[in-house]
């Protein structure tokens, strides 16, 4: 594997920069099948950390994992009218199995509401069976014309929560609870500030009453939807005839939610934090938090230095999160470069003079800051540095977002600002889908969400002039 | 959800017993798609424990996880002649995507050698890139005519290790190392004794030089292949043109292994340990290790008893592995029954008299043994009981296997023993595929493996009379 890959600067070509960062950090490759990706070990390790943290949060909120089939009969999709309209055009279809043509075509799941609600029917009969709180970690397939690694691929990995409730209010509560789980995860683990809000009618999930999302800003000012939570009402219960007997003995239709995040989050991590030197990862999601580079001086014995580096690694007590770079064929400089491109949060350099002075040199990946630390108390110093980096990356991303968020009140302001400098526009929104389509066609901006905390404020849609009760966030989006 | 399900006794109908145990423990359901299964939360929790332990063992032996596409071009399969012959007939085929017919049909992966080696080609160029030690956790699809929950389903979950090496010897070493990882996992975590051995030519993986497996005995005396490890030689390197430059600057073909276990292991767990009362799980793989049932006496306050049960749960320090059954609508007896069917290793009963006496009643799921334990020191007593149960379940399974393993030397002995009582037959094996086919057709027994530790012993094949150097294990198999 090559240890050096050229990275195009962001200012020169943002899209190429994104692909170069992924290639240099060896996170993913395009697969030989159109639109599919291979997630390489260093990319998959990020996903494993995302899974580990989120899975714990799901279990802490009472959810259990299960697994439902990849293959869904075509007829299932047709049971919920909006759902089939939204998803059928992007489905991959299995027509043959075991050498024979199938009687009914099978869709590869683009999402699992239909197959799951067909099972919920036999699992739910009484109010005592509710709430039913299920999550699934799985691959899904959506046929995409224009793909981009992590952000939009034909197959991707995700989790999908599917829950069943006895009342509208309980479903709404669940839906908002999981949106909050996503917000906490994005901000505290991914170090990405997000805006939780409600999607417009046009942008809601096919088959939902309403959709909530968290929206993040990337370094080019574009928005990225980082997670969604849907209140599905009774639509799937109706389609699959799922009822329960309430405490009074009455049959009632069940209320539903679904919510999900995907490997797209890895794309968000890259675009939110990385720089022209390569990947920058928040410490909490980095599988390797510290890289130790031993520097054999002119007189020094390389094996002795490697041994010292290993001892240092043990002192840190971080297990597999510390790597000692003992590759004999690479110079220290080449190793620095390698770990910078791979986004390892902290680098420790250890040379003969450091040994003499009982110190190590610490370099922060995000700031490039370099300083010497005494060997004594290093374990605690490294722990604190990782925490500081996590916090400061979030603050930096938040400051950037603030600096690129604009309140606009006129069509002219809107059109100018979305073009240059671009970012999040806080503008009044009339709620009219036709107007929304026009704005998108003419400016490429979409309603990202109506923030949950948007204050009531009388105003008018800058485009159609209709009255509006609060501002939405508009942006160009991934 | 019903709390009581009738379980057919093993002696009456072993196959129905297996399905009843699964239904009563709510582990899985058949899906509406033929041959597919839904893994319910209690079943999936077992898989999560299997994953957690094995994943740690893979990482401890230097492997990294990655993810490769589900969809594989038909042409890839055709590059390795034996491989396509073995797998193409059982593939599911995607012919349409995004509303259009595809130019080339895509197979749903039945296994991933071809897609992975097509990527290895660009990842491997020098001896410094080797060994490359990759694992993938994924779903796979193999069109099956006769399915059985967990044991054989059209879609199943598994892990597949795929490694690349500079030499035949290193590949062989890897292959045997992972077989040993599987043996340790089966014996120490699943509490199932297994025989590691080599598969016959007839039974080896399509495209492999040789295949190793671990073979377990179920309670009906049948064998279940619980894991396989393949030395693939240079077959896939040839098919996908994967070479490396060795230390002398020469181009060499790369050597390969692959190895896997699947959700079939859950079937093995059920069949090896469960009884006529329902599921029995080894403590190390049980997500709920202890169920506490509070018994509200006639005068007692039910809420007080539940509070005491919760305090007891906290004392055990086992986190989510302890469940307090506070369902108000069920009698203690119904709860005992429920947890027995669900395979929870230990039950603790806590009634007003136990409170008075500062004790709890402990019941072991595997033996039914019931005794009182003093409340002081309970945490340690429970820990020891779980360990004892794990050990004794393994010993019991080993004793059972020994009691049903027979050395047979004549065709008559072979035929009689395989019919009644059935089990593992240690018999000389000529190595001839034609003879093997005949044995299978006439007796339904197959060569399970040639045990790695089978001593050299001169003898003759009981069927064809040809000379043999050691004994193989023959059995009817799942």
Q: Which CATH number do you get for residue A352?
A: 3.40.50.800
Nearest to A359 by CA among A322, A308, A323: A308
Instruction: Collect all residues of chain B within an 8 Å Cβ-Cβ radius of residue A118.
Output: 32
C-alpha angle B309/B312/B317, rounded to 5°? 135
Specify if B280 maps to a domain.
no
Cβ A190 vs Cβ A279: under 8 Å: no
Q: What is the dihedral of CA A216, A218, A223, A224, to 10 degrees?
A: -60
Min Cα separation B29/chain A (Å): 9
Nearest to A292 by CA among A250, A344, A232: A344
**Residue A68 in contact with partner chain B when CB distance is under 8 A:** yes
Strand A446-451 and strand A194-198: the pairing is antiparallel
Q: Are residues A418 and A334 in the same domain?
A: no
d(CA A222, CA B70): 31
Q: Are residues A383 and A409 in the same domain?
A: no
Is the preceding peptide bond at A131 cis, omega within 30 degrees of 0?
yes
Strand A92-97 and strand A100-108: the pairing is antiparallel
Q: Are residues A156 and A70 in the same domain?
A: yes
Min Cα separation A347/chain B (Å): 22
Instruction: Indicate whether B210 pLDDT > 50.
Output: yes
Give per-residue pLDDT as tens, B29-53: 999 998 999 999 999 999 999 999 9
**One-character DSSP codes across B318-347:** -GGGEEE---TTS-HHHHHHHHHHTT-SEE
Cβ A142 vs Cβ A136: under 8 Å: no
Residue A186: give its domain's CATH number. 3.30.930.10
Cβ B64 vs Cβ A41: under 8 Å: yes
d(CA B298, CA B279): 32
A123–B1: do the CB atoms touch at under 8 Å? yes
d(CA A22, CA A286): 15
Q: Are residues A440 and A361 in the same domain?
A: no
B31–A155: do the CB atoms touch at under 8 Å? no
Min Cα separation B342/chain A (Å): 16
Please name the helix (run of DSSP H) or strand (run of DSSP E) that holds residue A30, with its range, or none.
strand A28-30
Neighbours of A287 (CB within 10 A): 18
CB proximity list for A303: less than 8 A, separation 6 or greater: none
d(CA A13, CA A22): 14
Cβ A288 vs Cβ A350: under 8 Å: no
Last residue of a domain, one of A250, A273, A296: A273
Instruction: Collect all residues of chain A within an 8 Å Cβ-Cβ radius of residue B48.
Output: 65
**Residue B32 in contact with partner chain A when CB distance is under 8 A:** yes
Q: With the C-alpha atoms ordered A181, A187, A191, A197, is the resulting torsion angle positive or negative?
A: positive
Residues 166-225 of A with CB under 8 A from B: none
CB proximity list for B382: less than 8 A, separation 6 or greater: B290, B316, B318, B346, B348, B362
Token reading at A286: 């980095």
A44–B38: do the CB atoms touch at under 8 Å? no
d(CA A367, CA A389): 9
Token reading at A139: 């691959």
pLDDT-derived band at B107, boundaries 50, 70, 90:
very high
Give per-residue pLDDT as tens, A61-88: 999 999 999 999 999 989 988 888 888 8
Specify if B6 maps to a domain.
no
Q: Are residues A72 and A213 in the same domain?
A: yes
pLDDT of residue B1: 44
Is the preceding peptide bond at A31 cis, omega within 30 degrees of 0?
no
With CA atoms as reference, the chain A residue closest to B319 would be A60
Min Cα separation A178/chain B (Å): 19
pLDDT of residue A451: 98
Nearest to A344 by CA among A397, A256, A277, A255: A277
Best residue of A28, A56, A66 to probe chain B, by most B CBs closer than 10 Å: A66
Count of the separate structural domains present in chain A? 3
Last residue of a domain, one of B337, B354, B385: B385
d(CA B412, CA B419): 11
Give per-residue pLDDT as tens, B255-309: 999 999 999 999 999 999 999 999 999 999 999 999 999 998 777 678 889 999 9
**Residue B361 in contact with partner chain A when CB distance is under 8 A:** no
Specify if A279 maps to a domain.
no
Q: Are residues A175 and A130 in the same domain?
A: yes
Name the phi and psi angles at A257, rounded to 5. Answer: -135, 160
Residues in chain A with pLDDT values less than 50 = 1-2
Please name the helix (run of DSSP H) or strand (run of DSSP E) that holds residue A50, with its range, or none.
helix A41-60
Min Cα separation A463/chain B (Å): 34
Q: For tokens 């230390």, name the residue.
A: B247
Q: Which residues pair with B353 in a beta bridge?
A: none
Please name the helix (run of DSSP H) or strand (run of DSSP E) that holds residue A139, with its range, or none.
strand A132-141
Q: Are residues A188 and A123 in the same domain?
A: yes
pLDDT of residue A4: 61
B33–A106: do the CB atoms touch at under 8 Å? yes
**Residue B326 in contact with partner chain A when CB distance is under 8 A:** no
Q: Are residues A148 and A30 in the same domain?
A: yes
pLDDT of residue B2: 47
Grouping H, G, I as helix, E, B as strand and the rest as coil, residue A369 is coil
Q: Are residues B82 and B152 in the same domain?
A: yes
Last residue of a domain, one of A388, A417, A446: A388
Q: Are residues A219 and A352 in the same domain?
A: no
Instruction: Collect all residues of chain A within an 8 Å Cβ-Cβ radius of residue B45.
Output: 64-65
With CA atoms as reference, the chain A residue closest to B108 would be A94
B69–A37: do the CB atoms touch at under 8 Å? yes
Neighbours of A169 (CB within 10 A): 10
pLDDT of residue A350: 95
Min Cα separation A424/chain B (Å): 32
B97–A98: do the CB atoms touch at under 8 Å? no
**Residue A56 in contact with partner chain B when CB distance is under 8 A:** no
**Residue A41 in contact with partner chain B when CB distance is under 8 A:** yes
Specify if B398 maps to a domain.
no
Min Cα separation B246/chain A (Å): 14
pLDDT of residue B4: 61
Residue B441: give its domain's CATH number. 3.30.110.30
Specify if B416 maps to a domain.
yes
Grouping H, G, I as helix, E, B as strand and the rest as coil, residue A419 is helix
| Packed helices B264-273 and B378-403: angle between N→C axes, nearest 10 degrees | 90
Instruction: Indicate whether B376 pLDDT > 60.
Output: yes
A72–B33: do the CB atoms touch at under 8 Å? yes
Specify if B20 maps to a domain.
yes
Grouping H, G, I as helix, E, B as strand and the rest as coil, residue B192 is coil
Q: Are residues A221 and A104 in the same domain?
A: yes
Average pLDDT, chain B: 96
Of A71, A98, A129, which has the smallest distance from its Cβ to B36's Cβ?
Answer: A71
Q: Which domain holds residue B361?
A: 288-385
Give per-residue pLDDT as tens, B389-442: 999 999 999 999 999 999 999 999 999 999 999 999 999 999 999 999 999 999
Residues 141-170 of B with CB under 8 A from A: 141, 143-145, 154-155, 157
d(CA B242, CA B255): 9
Specify if A93 maps to a domain.
yes
d(CA B297, CA B312): 18
pLDDT of residue A82: 87
Average pLDDT over residues B305-321: 95
Min Cα separation A149/chain B (Å): 13
pLDDT of residue A300: 65
d(CA B158, CA B138): 6
Instruction: Indicate whether B378 pLDDT > 60.
Output: yes
Q: How far is CA A476 from CA A245, A413, A442, A445, B201, in A?
A: 47, 15, 12, 4, 60
**One-character DSSP codes across A215-254:** EEE-TTS-EEEEEEEEEEETHHHHHHT-EEE-TTS-EEEP
Q: Are residues A310 and A434 in the same domain?
A: no
With CA atoms as reference, the chain B residue closest to A60 would be B320
Instruction: Collect all residues of chain B within an 8 Å Cβ-Cβ radius of residue A329.
Output: 128
Specify if A400 maps to a domain.
no
């Amino acid at each position: 594997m090559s240890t050096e890959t050229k990275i195009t600067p962001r200012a020169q070509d943002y899209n190429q920069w994104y692909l170069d960062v992924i290639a240099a950090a060896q996170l993913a490759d395009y697969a030989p099948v159109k639109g599919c990706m291979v997630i390489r070990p260093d990319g998959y390790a990020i996903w494993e950390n995302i899974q580990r943290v989120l899975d714990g949060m799901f279990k802490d909120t009472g959810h259990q994992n299960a697994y439902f089939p990849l293959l869904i009969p075509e007829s299932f999709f047709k049971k919920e009218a909006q759902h089939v309209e939204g998803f059928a055009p992007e489905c991959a279809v299995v027509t043959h199995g075991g050498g024979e043509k199938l009687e009914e075509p099978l869709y590869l799941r683009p999402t699992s509401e239909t197959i799951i609600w067909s099972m919920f029917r036999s699992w739910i009969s009484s109010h005592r069976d509710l709430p039913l709180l299920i999550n699934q970690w799985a691959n899904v397939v959506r046929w995409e014309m224009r793909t981009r690694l992590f952000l939009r691929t034909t197959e991707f990995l995700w989790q999908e929560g599917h829950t069943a409730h006895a009342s509208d209010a309980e479903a709404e509560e669940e839906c908002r609870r999981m949106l909050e789980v996503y917000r906490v995860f994005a901000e505290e683990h991914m170090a990405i500030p997000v805006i939780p809000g409600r999607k417009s009618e046009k942008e809601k999930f096919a088959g939902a009453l309403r959709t909530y999302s968290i929206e993040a800003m990337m370094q080019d000012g574009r928005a990225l939807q980082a997670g969604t939570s849907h209140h599905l009402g009774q639509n799937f219960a109706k389609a699959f005839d799922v009822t329960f007997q309430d405490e009074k003995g009455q049959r009632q239709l069940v209320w539903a939610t679904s919510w999900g995040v995907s490997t797209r989050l890895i794309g968000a991590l890259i675009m939110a934090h990385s720089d022209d030197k390569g990947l920058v990862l928040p410490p909490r999601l980095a599988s390797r938090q510290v890289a130790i580079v031993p520097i054999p001086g002119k007189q020094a014995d390389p094996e002795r230095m490697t041994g010292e580096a290993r001892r240092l690694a043990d002192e840190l007590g971080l297990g597999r999160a510390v790597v000692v770079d003992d590759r004999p064929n690479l110079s220290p400089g080449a190793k620095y470069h390698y770990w910078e491109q791979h986004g390892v949060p902290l680098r420790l350099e250890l040379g003969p003079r450091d040994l003499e002075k009982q110190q190590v040199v610490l370099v922060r990946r995000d700031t490039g800051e370099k300083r010497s630390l005494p060997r004594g108390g290093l374990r605690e110093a490294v722990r604190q540095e990782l925490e500081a980096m996590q916090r400061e990356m979030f603050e930096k991303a938040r400051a950037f977002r603030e600096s690129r968020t604009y309140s606009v009140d006129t069509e002219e302001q809107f059109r100018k600002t979305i073009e240059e400098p671009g970012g999040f526009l806080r503008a009044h929104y009339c709620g009219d889908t036709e107007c929304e389509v026009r704005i998108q066609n003419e400016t490429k901006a979409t309603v990202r969400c109506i923030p949950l905390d948007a204050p009531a404020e009388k105003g008018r849609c800058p485009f159609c002039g209709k009255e509006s009760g609060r501002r939405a966030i508009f942006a160009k989006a991934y």
